[in-house]
Structure 1
Amino acid sequence: MLKKILQYDVQITKKFVEMALKVTALRSIRNHSQLFEVSCHGIVWLAGWLTFIWLFSYKELYQLQVNMLIALILDIIIIAVIKAAVRRRRPVPMNKLLEVGPDKFSFPSGHASRATMIAFMLMYADPISFIFYPPLMAWVSTVCLSRVLAERHYILDVFGGVGIGLLEGLLMCLLWFSQSTSESIVVSLSSEKVEGGEFHV
């Protein structure tokens, strides 16, 4: 049964990509897939978030900063473990010139899980203004689409990533660190930046 499902997934993904390339908007997403890949890359987000914590050391941001940092680390670990266990190979690109990349495993999509988790946390766990919801959801949808159109993942890989991202968001809601705990963690990360820290001037 599982083998048949995976075969159908391969066939449907291939047909979807072939049809999508006939649509200008979707073809544009494929052409810019590397940009969307970088916009949700785990290392980029991790390094960027640590920089954000370092540069913007305000008490009202501590909870979001710490909980998002933990969520990003959790996502990287969970995706790596599942990929190592499942070991599903990435699609063979129809265009042989497309870069395959060093990561050979496809299920689940780490970009899809990360984008979904980030959106979930910013919309429900520590809500941002409603006006940012449409561009945030557009970014998540485009990242997920680009993974299929760039032939880096099958459709089931992306759906699996979205599901894992939602579960990670729910888990972070349960593990949500308090303001006091968040302050302690930020102090330990950047004591010279935080008022009252050892090196504060």
Structure 2
Amino acid sequence: PEEDCMKLNPSFLGIALSSLLAIDLWASKRLGVCAGEGSAWGSARPLMKVIEVSGHGIPWLLGTFYGLCQSDSSAAREVLLNLLFALLLDLVLVAVVKGLVKRRRPTHNKMDMFVTISVDRYSFPSGHATRAALVCRFILHHLVLAVPLRVLVVLWALIVGISRIMLGRHNVTDVLFGLLLGYALYSVVEYCWLSPLSAPALFALW
């Protein structure tokens, strides 16, 4: 009987995973309503692509670096330097995971994304989702914002994640895992927080 259980369990697990994967692919295709101009919500595709750019790494890296160079406040420089560190860490981690998992993007995706590199042909996890969750937590913890603005930041992060599925860029699980990964990654950034005491050489550059 024990041997029978040992034989059944892997089979059951395999069936369960296959079923979840099938549901993921089915849901992702159904929700990819902006994947092309001829899709159900094809007219909203330009707006989704604007949202795509808002969550892309390059604008965030350039904007953070520019702010770091222009800032004349030591406190602001510390926050911006750590945001830059967080963004770079996010890029490296996502690239490594994508390279290891090598999950292809959905078949209904159009490869017309804003500035891509080799690992961007892979889908898991969503780099936009990790970045959105990471930046969202970072902003909420380090900027003093009114409640409406804090709500907008959270909504932006969620909309970025949803837009990845609607554009057909990612499967649902790519985005969900990306959001969780980005949320967790912020804790790593906080743990490794760079300060004039812990990284004097970096702060000497600015």
Asked if TM exceeds 0.5, the reply is yes
State the alpha-carbon separation in 2 of the partners of residues 72 and 182 from structure 1: 18
Report 1:146-157 matches (<5 A): 146-157=163-174
**Displacement after TM superposition at 1:145 (Å):** 1.0
CA shift digits 1:41-92 (9 cap, x unpaired): 1122112211110112311202211111110010000000000000000011
Contact 1:106 1:157 in 2 (8 A): yes
Partner of 1:158: 175
State the alpha-carbon separation in 2 of the partners of residues 158 and 42 from structure 1: 16
* Cα RMSD, aligned residues only: 2.5
**Displacement after TM superposition at 1:184 (Å):** 4.7
- Candidates 95, 99, 103, aligned match of 2:111: 99
Structure 1 pair 58/90, CA: closer, same or farther in 2 (3 Å)? same
Contact 2:33 2:167 in 1 (8 A): no
Indicate whether 1:35 and 2:50 are aligned. yes
AA of the residue aligned to 1:82: V
Gapped regions of structure 2 (runs ≥ 5)? 1-13
Partner of 1:118: 135
State the alpha-carbon separation in 1 of the partners of residues 33 and 112 from structure 2: 18
TM-score relative to the length of structure 1: 0.80
Indicate whether 1:173 and 2:203 are aligned. no
State the alpha-carbon separation in 1 of the partners of residues 143 and 61 from structure 2: 20
Equivalent pairs counted in the alignment come to 182
Gapped regions of structure 1 (runs ≥ 5)? 191-201
Identity of aligned pairs, percent? 28
State the alpha-carbon separation in 2 of the partners of residues 172 and 17 from structure 1: 33
Partner of 1:186: 203
State which drifts further: 137-146 or 175-184: 175-184
State the alpha-carbon separation in 2 of the partners of residues 179 and 129 from structure 1: 25
Partner of 2:160: 143
**Displacement after TM superposition at 1:123 (Å):** 1.2
Name the SS for the 2:121 alignment partner.
coil
Partner of 1:63: 78
TM-score relative to the length of structure 2: 0.78
AA of the residue aligned to 1:9: D
Name the SS for the 2:155 alignment partner.
helix
State which drifts further: 75-84 or 100-109: 100-109
